[in-house]
Chain A
Amino acid sequence: MAMLAIEQRYIDEMIAHARQEAPLECCGVLGGRDGRVLKLFRATNAERSRYRYNIDSQELFRINRECEENGWQFLGIYHSHPDSEAYPSPTDVGLAFWPESLYFIVSLRDAGNPEVRAFRIRDGEITEEEIEIVRR
């Protein structure tokens, strides 16, 4: 599979969202086509928790519909780890039902140096993927 191409502004937007929601976890979706991210959808964490996220079901439906209408896929799914590393937790793996999407995790463990990493989570297996930062 080709490397995912993403503009820096989407990375920045994920970090900004994580900081805004901290200490709670934030979450959202990266929609796009042909391995290129075209839109970031911020979503509401229905759990309102520092240890759980769950995209509000009605919002998930709307985001999914908009992507379908544009012929986009969920290229990425992102959430934050306010206190821990940017690596999928057992909970993340257990609830990873979108094997074709890249799971982005924003860690705020080191507040001054937020870290963003991307993983493929398929059948319980975690594989870190490189992403290509592209110009607009």
Chain B
Amino acid sequence: MAVTVYIPAPFRRLTNNRSYVEGHGQTVAELLDDLKARYPALGDMLQGEGGDLPSHISIYVNNQEIHSLQGEATPLKDGDEVAVIPVIAGGQDLTSEQMLRYSRQIMIPDVGVAGQRKLLDARVLVVGAGGLGSPAAVYLAAAGVGTLGIVDSDELDLSNLQRQILHHTPDVGRPKVESAQETIARYNPDVRVIPYRERLDAANALEIVGQYDVVVGAVDNFDTRYLLNDASYLAGKPYVDGGVFLFEGQVTVFIPGQGCYRCLFPAPPPAEVVPKPSQVGLLGTLPGVIGVIEAFEALKLILGLGESLAGRLLIFDALAMEFRQVRTRRDPQCPLCGDAPTIRELGEYKALSSSPLAGRDEG
């Protein structure tokens, strides 16, 4: 097959200043070999390490970049027009201040500068700026997660300060998202906080969750937990879930397709048996531990480090100071992520609280 190959300005010195050269081959790969043979200097540009086409060269067949076709196996026919164009790319490096600020984590071999860039490019949504969300957000911000969405509709109450370390005494009465934003700015000016002073509901959840890479649930009620679970699954986002009660905490990760909160707990407990969170005593260190683990799981997901808690429910007994694990798995009968799902969009989450208790442990 004889095709015409367009040569852009930066490569013309390699083709005797010609803008178009003829080439032959049944596929793009064969054409590249043909060009390498006849224009060795151009061939050097088209050959990266290991002989593959380097990622900084884009090849187009009849105006289409070949990654959207069949790559180097893209077939050619007589008269096709092929173009070989180098990318226009680059980018800033971490500043010397950032290199120093994050030096302790950059020195981890599996993190490095590339991992730090991933963190700074990452977007994490923390739902709840209370006992769990405070430690989670503080550590995510300190690690340099570049964009933190924080959802909370409440104002700070004096009784919150016993555990909600995102806020300070002079903040009593202020919207929590405002004081959270100020606290985070003082911890780390690299972090951009997007405050949502609203309740997450079926109308806004998908739109908000869809803008983030990882969702961290730090809420104290079942309605929002199911809503977050469903929204994260439908938006295809990993969801880190945490909860606390008296002296016990739970934390796990749900990756879409590998099980969800409904697989574990098909329905929330009836509203009558669920005490109001404000009526249950709690030491602030408990949500502190669980919120920090949630942050850790979010960081691992962003960095691709280690084994996430997906498929495991971690249970923390603070009085015994013991961690236990329960295996979890995707339930084929799950109404959300099962084989025949009945939940395809976000519904009404208030009614859920009155459905019968059907919690289940897949020990």
**Interface residues of A, Cβ cutoff 8 Å to B:** 23, 25, 27, 29, 43, 47-55, 57-58, 60-61, 64-65, 73-74, 77, 79, 81-84, 88-100, 103
Q: Is the CB of A50 within 8 A of B87?
A: no
How far does the alpha carbon of A25 sit from the alpha carbon of B10 in the complex, in Å? Answer: 24
A23→B192 contact, CB < 8 A: yes
Q: Who on chain A is nearest to B11 by CB?
A: A97
Q: Which 8 A-B pairs have the closest CB atoms?
A: A97-B86, A92-B90, A52-B91, A54-B89, A81-B92, A55-B88, A57-B65, A89-B93
Query: How far is A56 from B91 in the complex, measured between Cα atoms in Å?
Result: 14
B212 in the interface (beta carbon within 8 A): no
Question: Nearest Cβ in chain B — how far from A110, in angstroms?
Answer: 13
Q: Contacts A74-B9, A100-B9: A64 and B87 contacting too (C-beta < 8 A)?
A: no
- Do B93 and A91 have beta carbons less than 8 Å apart? yes
Q: Can you identify 19 A-B contacts, CB atoms within 8 angstroms?
A: A23-B146, A27-B88, A47-B91, A51-B120, A52-B89, A53-B91, A54-B87, A58-B64, A61-B60, A61-B83, A81-B92, A83-B95, A84-B92, A89-B90, A92-B90, A95-B90, A97-B88, A100-B9, A103-B90
A55 to nearest B CB, angstroms?
4
Contact (A92, B91) CB under 8 Å given A50-B120, A61-B60, A61-B65: yes
Question: Is B56 an interface residue, CB under 8 A from the partner?
Answer: yes
Q: By the criterion CB–CB under 8 Å, are B91 and A89 in contact?
A: yes
B9 & A73 in contact (Cβ 8 Å cutoff): yes
Q: Contact flags (1/0) for B187-204 with A, using CB distance below 8 Å?
A: 000101000000000000
Contact indicator A95/B146 (Cβ below 8 Å): no
Contact A61 B63 (CB under 8 A): yes
A77 to B85, CA, bound (A): 15
**Main SS at interface, chain B:** mixed
Q: In the complex, which residues of chain A have a beta carbon less than 8 angstroms from the beta carbon of B83?
A: 61, 64
Q: A60-B58, A89-B92 are in contact. Are A49 and B121 (CB under 8 A)?
A: yes
With contacts A97-B86, A98-B10, A100-B9 known, is A25 near B58, CB below 8 A?
no
A23 to B146, CA, bound (A): 9
Contact present for B91 and A79 (CB under 8 Å): yes
Q: Give chain A residues whose Cβ lies under 8 Å from the Cβ of B147.
A: 23
User: Please, how many angstroms separate the alpha-carbon atoms of A48 and B121 in the complex?
Assistant: 8
Chain A residue at minimum C-beta to C-beta distance from B190: A83
Once A53-B90, A79-B91 are accepted as A-B contacts, the answer to whether A97 and B56 lie under 8 Å apart by CB is yes
Say yes or no for B210: interface residue by CB 8 A criterion: no
Query: Is A51 within 8 A of B94, CB to CB?
Result: yes
Within the complex, the shortest CB–CB distance from B135 to chain A, in Å, comes to 25
A91 touches B91 (CB 8 A): yes
Give Cα distance in the complex from A112 to B56, angstroms.
Answer: 34
Residue of A with least CB distance to B121: A49
User: Given A29-B88, A49-B117, do A64 and B93 touch, yes or no (CB 8 Å)?
Assistant: no
A98-B86 contact in complex given A49-B121, A61-B60, C-beta closer than 8 Å: yes
Q: Which of B303-324 contact A (CB under 8 A)?
A: none
Judge whether B8 is part of the interface by a CB distance below 8 angstroms: yes
